[in-house]
Amino acid sequence: MKKPVQYPSDSNTPEVVRDVPGPLPQLDNAKGMVRTQIYLTRAEHGFLLSESARRGEPMAAVIRGFIDDKMRMPESAWAINPMLEATPQDDALELPEDAAINHDHYRYGTKKRYVKKRGQWVLDEAEASQ
Protein backbone atom coordinates (compact mmCIF):
# COMPACT_ATOMS: atom_id res chain seq x y z
CA MET A 1 0.00 0.00 0.00
CA LYS A 2 1.31 3.42 -0.95
CA LYS A 3 1.93 5.96 1.75
CA PRO A 4 -0.21 9.11 1.28
CA VAL A 5 1.63 12.18 0.07
CA GLN A 6 1.84 14.93 2.68
CA TYR A 7 2.17 18.47 1.47
CA PRO A 8 3.64 21.20 3.67
CA SER A 9 0.92 23.51 4.91
CA ASP A 10 1.38 27.25 4.92
CA SER A 11 -0.29 28.79 7.98
CA ASN A 12 -1.41 31.79 5.89
CA THR A 13 -3.12 29.68 3.22
CA PRO A 14 -6.41 27.93 4.05
CA GLU A 15 -6.41 24.22 3.26
CA VAL A 16 -9.11 24.11 0.61
CA VAL A 17 -9.26 21.92 -2.45
CA ARG A 18 -10.42 23.81 -5.50
CA ASP A 19 -11.43 22.30 -8.82
CA VAL A 20 -10.40 25.42 -10.71
CA PRO A 21 -7.77 27.78 -9.29
CA GLY A 22 -9.07 31.21 -10.22
CA PRO A 23 -11.04 32.21 -13.30
CA LEU A 24 -11.57 29.75 -16.12
CA PRO A 25 -9.02 30.09 -18.90
CA GLN A 26 -10.22 31.23 -22.29
CA LEU A 27 -9.83 28.18 -24.49
CA ASP A 28 -9.27 28.21 -28.21
CA ASN A 29 -9.77 24.87 -29.95
CA ALA A 30 -7.15 25.81 -32.53
CA LYS A 31 -4.48 25.98 -29.81
CA GLY A 32 -4.89 22.36 -28.71
CA MET A 33 -6.18 20.65 -25.62
CA VAL A 34 -6.06 21.27 -21.88
CA ARG A 35 -4.97 18.42 -19.65
CA THR A 36 -7.14 17.71 -16.62
CA GLN A 37 -7.52 15.05 -13.97
CA ILE A 38 -10.72 13.65 -12.44
CA TYR A 39 -11.61 11.12 -9.78
CA LEU A 40 -13.95 8.29 -10.77
CA THR A 41 -15.66 5.54 -8.83
CA ARG A 42 -14.65 2.01 -9.76
CA ALA A 43 -18.01 1.56 -11.50
CA GLU A 44 -17.51 4.73 -13.58
CA HIS A 45 -13.98 3.70 -14.48
CA GLY A 46 -15.14 0.19 -15.42
CA PHE A 47 -17.89 1.64 -17.60
CA LEU A 48 -15.41 3.91 -19.40
CA LEU A 49 -13.03 1.00 -19.95
CA SER A 50 -15.74 -1.18 -21.44
CA GLU A 51 -17.13 1.68 -23.56
CA SER A 52 -13.60 2.44 -24.76
CA ALA A 53 -13.05 -1.19 -25.76
CA ARG A 54 -16.47 -1.41 -27.44
CA ARG A 55 -15.84 1.73 -29.52
CA GLY A 56 -12.18 1.03 -30.17
CA GLU A 57 -11.26 4.51 -28.94
CA PRO A 58 -9.10 5.77 -26.09
CA MET A 59 -10.89 6.50 -22.81
CA ALA A 60 -10.19 10.22 -23.24
CA ALA A 61 -11.99 10.23 -26.59
CA VAL A 62 -15.03 8.56 -25.00
CA ILE A 63 -15.14 11.19 -22.24
CA ARG A 64 -14.77 14.02 -24.77
CA GLY A 65 -17.61 12.48 -26.78
CA PHE A 66 -19.88 12.48 -23.72
CA ILE A 67 -19.02 16.13 -23.04
CA ASP A 68 -19.59 17.09 -26.68
CA ASP A 69 -23.04 15.42 -26.56
CA LYS A 70 -24.00 17.44 -23.47
CA MET A 71 -22.72 20.69 -24.99
CA ARG A 72 -24.71 20.25 -28.19
CA MET A 73 -28.30 21.57 -28.08
CA PRO A 74 -30.66 19.50 -30.24
CA GLU A 75 -32.61 21.31 -32.95
CA SER A 76 -35.81 19.87 -31.49
CA ALA A 77 -35.27 21.95 -28.34
CA TRP A 78 -36.55 24.98 -30.26
CA ALA A 79 -39.00 23.23 -32.57
CA ILE A 80 -40.76 20.90 -30.12
CA ASN A 81 -40.86 22.82 -26.85
CA PRO A 82 -44.21 23.22 -25.08
CA MET A 83 -42.77 26.02 -22.94
CA LEU A 84 -42.44 28.17 -26.08
CA GLU A 85 -46.07 27.69 -27.14
CA ALA A 86 -48.76 30.26 -26.45
CA THR A 87 -50.67 29.85 -23.20
CA PRO A 88 -54.11 28.40 -23.92
CA GLN A 89 -57.02 30.68 -23.05
CA ASP A 90 -59.75 29.23 -20.83
CA ASP A 91 -62.72 31.61 -20.72
CA ALA A 92 -64.53 29.40 -18.19
CA LEU A 93 -61.73 29.76 -15.65
CA GLU A 94 -62.51 32.33 -12.99
CA LEU A 95 -59.64 33.29 -10.70
CA PRO A 96 -59.33 36.02 -8.10
CA GLU A 97 -57.46 39.13 -9.20
CA ASP A 98 -54.58 38.35 -6.82
CA ALA A 99 -54.33 34.61 -7.54
CA ALA A 100 -50.77 34.88 -8.87
CA ILE A 101 -49.30 36.87 -5.99
CA ASN A 102 -51.31 35.26 -3.18
CA HIS A 103 -51.27 31.71 -4.53
CA ASP A 104 -50.29 30.19 -1.15
CA HIS A 105 -53.43 31.71 0.37
CA TYR A 106 -55.69 30.16 -2.26
CA ARG A 107 -53.83 26.85 -2.45
CA TYR A 108 -52.92 26.20 1.20
CA GLY A 109 -55.08 28.62 3.17
CA THR A 110 -52.22 30.75 4.52
CA LYS A 111 -52.63 34.45 5.30
CA LYS A 112 -52.52 36.71 2.23
CA ARG A 113 -49.07 38.23 1.69
CA TYR A 114 -50.23 41.07 -0.56
CA VAL A 115 -53.15 43.44 -0.11
CA LYS A 116 -54.59 46.04 -2.46
CA LYS A 117 -54.11 49.63 -1.31
CA ARG A 118 -55.09 52.62 -3.45
CA GLY A 119 -55.35 50.42 -6.53
CA GLN A 120 -51.92 48.74 -6.15
CA TRP A 121 -50.89 45.43 -4.66
CA VAL A 122 -48.42 45.93 -1.80
CA LEU A 123 -46.81 43.61 0.73
CA ASP A 124 -49.01 43.33 3.83
CA GLU A 125 -47.59 45.34 6.74
CA ALA A 126 -47.56 42.25 8.97
CA GLU A 127 -45.47 40.41 6.32
CA ALA A 128 -43.14 43.37 5.83
CA SER A 129 -42.30 43.55 9.54
CA GLN A 130 -41.12 39.92 9.70
| Residue pLDDT, tens place only, 12-54 | 554 444 455 556 555 555 568 888 999 999 999 999 999 999 9
What's the confidence (pLDDT) of residue 62? 95
List phi, psi (to 5°) of 128. Answer: -70, -30
Q: Is residue 40 one of the residues assigned to a domain?
A: yes
Q: What is the pTM of this model?
A: 0.39
- Show the domain range for 67: 36-74
pLDDT tens digits for 82-113?
Answer: 888 888 888 898 899 999 999 999 999 999 99
Number of domains making up the chain? 2
Neighbours of 60 (CB within 10 A): 13
Q: Is residue 109 part of a domain?
A: yes
CA distance 122 to 130: 15
Q: Where does the pLDDT of residue 67 fall: very low under 50, low under 70, confident under 90, or very high at 90 and above?
A: very high
Tell me the C-alpha distance between 78 and 49, whole Å: 35
Asked whether residue 117 is assigned to any structural domain, the reply reads: yes
Residue 38 has a pLDDT of 92
